[in-house]
Structure 1
Amino acid sequence: MSSKVSMALKLIALPFLFFLAFFLVPLSVVLTSSFLDPSTGGASLANYAKVLLDQYHWDVILTTFRIAFFTTVICLLLGYPLSWYLVRIVRSPWWRRACIIILVVPLFTSNIVRSFGWMILLGRNGLVNDALRYLDLVQRPVRFIGSEGGILIGMVYILLPFVVLAVGTALARMDRSLEAASKDLGASPARTFFHITFPLSLPGLASGAIMVFALAVSAYVTPALLSGGRVTVLPMLIYQQYSTVFNFNYGGALSIVLLVFTLGLIGIANHIGRVKGGN
């Protein structure tokens, strides 16, 4: 028994040390610095007051979470049908593998490269504007770069695979006999979907939504490149404080505010999901 316990402790020790060294220690350093006032050298809430009592910072926070919210919603609306197509519609194994490869390969490309690609596509003389004008949908070029719409396009493109893979896994593991039983009892396909299939796929949908939201709210590269300097999100402000201004105390307060707000919203979403699931 003691040998099993020691073996379990050894297996747990390495992940715990990794978590301690690369998450808890850096987080504690950021948290500590956020409460320090560089002018006095003592503890202070001045950095948090600067963030939370200023309208500019609230505008940046609202912009950050608005973009993350709409990115998540669009990814869910596009990702669920695509997952359904790959799992339930596609019959050819080679075509399914090809679709998954096409979906996953962009994840191995740097966000910088993908964002620069979208800058070219969404520019005033880019492929998107040329196509819109060719189809007579617009008379003048649409300004995508420097708008929240352009950022949303880039973010959805980058984060959509996470929803597709999460929902696809949930659909693939689902017990199809439950759907067959529902149909045998006379339920219509729509009723079977909304009462059997969709509820059983909600865990995958929720995990995909959490991943997309967390990545979208903390994204820096894509908003920085596609914003054109006209839209500011909180990660851009944090990066500026750490890399340009070198105000680590103020940057730490911004980082903790972003972390607390993100975890709070995810916690609220989880609670709502449990309550509805219980009902």
Structure 2
Amino acid sequence: MKKPLLPAALLLGPPLVFFVAFFLAPMLVVALSSIKGGNDGVSLANYERILLDQYHWRVLILTFKLAFLTTVLCTLLGYPLAYYLVRTVDRPLFRRTFVVLLILPLFTSNIVRSFGWIVLLGRKGLINEVLLTTGVIDAPMRLLGTETGILIGLAYIHLPFIVLTVGNAIGKLDGTLENAARDLGAGKAVTFFTITFPLCLPGLVAGAIMVFTLSVSAYVTPALLGGGKITMFSMLIFQQYSSVFDFHYGGALSCTLLVLTLFMVAVANLAGAIRRAA
């Protein structure tokens, strides 16, 4: 048996050091700051303030609602697109070109992309102009400063994550299982819902979790497309750190959002595990 060229500790050392230094340590500082009270004592007053304030609950519910709707919209748009690219497109060159076009916006700042959507969603933007020209609407719609505008922007930015994860899952499926189902008399719809979809469900769940967590913590897109009329939880955290300079309360807000997000992700993973076991 050949010995590994490099010991495991040497391979895992640098990533672990980076993880501890740039993630665990800052999170520990934020967590300790959130429970710091007067005279350097320990206090849960910041968390009590969050839990008893209805305004924070409304903002939190709005944040999770938009993140959930973004995840649903990306799933409805991304799954058919991924299936089309993997199963329908035969020419590899066209497929690679489409994938490059899909991920190309990821190399652009969210600020630039959000400003682009400000131009498109404005009262005199391209979307309203097209709808007015085609007679779908009689007057320009108000899209900026609304939940709909934020939802459109978040879905556009996070759609590639669903397409890539689902496409990878579909590409790894064993085609013989689907062929066997058809040989046994199953139609295309039955084969898809009993073989294809369940087998690529882990990839879909992984992509949905990524989209949900990124949407929950998004700041730039909601801030720009919301126009100051809609507040999400990330904006409250930013205000505490940049304007109010209340780092203890900002830390409590950050930890609250992190814990709730991790709880919902854990529930999603548990539901997926139960579904696979069944």
Structure 1 length as normaliser, TM-score?
A: 0.97
Letter in 2 for 1:112: I
Structure-2 change in CA distance of 1:5 and 1:253 (3 Å): farther
Look up the match of 2:241: 242
In structure 1, what is the Cα distance between the partners aligned to 2:95 and 2:16?
A: 38
Look up the match of 1:13: 13
> Deviation per CA, 1:114-157, whole angstroms, max 9, x where unpaired?
00000010001101111111111111111111001000000000
Look up the match of 1:22: 22
Look up the match of 1:169: 168
> Deviation per CA, 1:182-222, whole angstroms, max 9, x where unpaired?
10111111110001000111011011001100100000000
Unaligned runs of 5+ in 2: none
Letter in 1 for 2:264: L
Look up the match of 1:147: 146
In structure 1, what is the Cα distance between the partners aligned to 2:272 and 2:106?
A: 29
In structure 2, what is the Cα distance between the partners aligned to 1:10 and 1:96?
A: 39
Structure-2 change in CA distance of 1:6 and 1:171 (3 Å): closer
The alpha-carbon deviation at position 5 of structure 1 amounts to 11
Look up the match of 1:33: 33
Moved more, 192-201 or 130-139: 130-139
Letter in 1 for 2:122: G
Output the aligned Cα RMSD.
1.4
Letter in 1 for 2:128: N
In structure 2, what is the Cα distance between the partners aligned to 1:193 and 1:43?
A: 56
Look up the match of 1:261: 260
The secondary structure found in structure 1 opposite 2:136 is coil
In structure 1, what is the Cα distance between the partners aligned to 2:97 and 2:12?
A: 38
Letter in 2 for 1:144: L
Look up the match of 2:128: 129
Letter in 1 for 2:31: L
The alpha-carbon deviation at position 36 of structure 1 amounts to 0.8
The alpha-carbon deviation at position 40 of structure 1 amounts to 3.6
The alpha-carbon deviation at position 41 of structure 1 amounts to 2.7
Q: What percent of counterpart residues are identical?
A: 57
The secondary structure found in structure 1 opposite 2:200 is helix
In structure 2, what is the Cα distance between the partners aligned to 1:148 and 1:42?
A: 41
In structure 1, what is the Cα distance between the partners aligned to 2:80 and 2:4?
A: 46
Letter in 2 for 1:9: A
Look up the match of 2:54: 55
In structure 1, what is the Cα distance between the partners aligned to 2:140 and 2:256?
A: 38
In structure 2, what is the Cα distance between the partners aligned to 1:90 and 1:12?
A: 40
> Deviation per CA, 1:58-105, whole angstroms, max 9, x where unpaired?
000001000000000000000000001100111111211111111010
Structure-2 change in CA distance of 1:177 and 1:6 (3 Å): closer
The secondary structure found in structure 2 opposite 1:105 is helix
Letter in 2 for 1:259: L
Paired residues, number: 277
Structure 2 length as normaliser, TM-score?
A: 0.97
Look up the match of 2:158: 159
- Is 1:219 equivalent to 2:218 in the alignment? yes
The secondary structure found in structure 1 opposite 2:40 is coil
> Deviation per CA, 1:233-269, whole angstroms, max 9, x where unpaired?
0111101111111110000000000000000001011
- Is 1:82 equivalent to 2:71 in the alignment? no
The alpha-carbon deviation at position 4 of structure 1 amounts to 5.5
In structure 2, what is the Cα distance between the partners aligned to 1:193 and 1:161?
A: 23
In structure 2, what is the Cα distance between the partners aligned to 1:237 and 1:159?
A: 22
- Is 1:206 equivalent to 2:205 in the alignment? yes
In structure 1, what is the Cα distance between the partners aligned to 2:83 and 2:273?
A: 24
In structure 2, what is the Cα distance between the partners aligned to 1:105 and 1:259?
A: 29
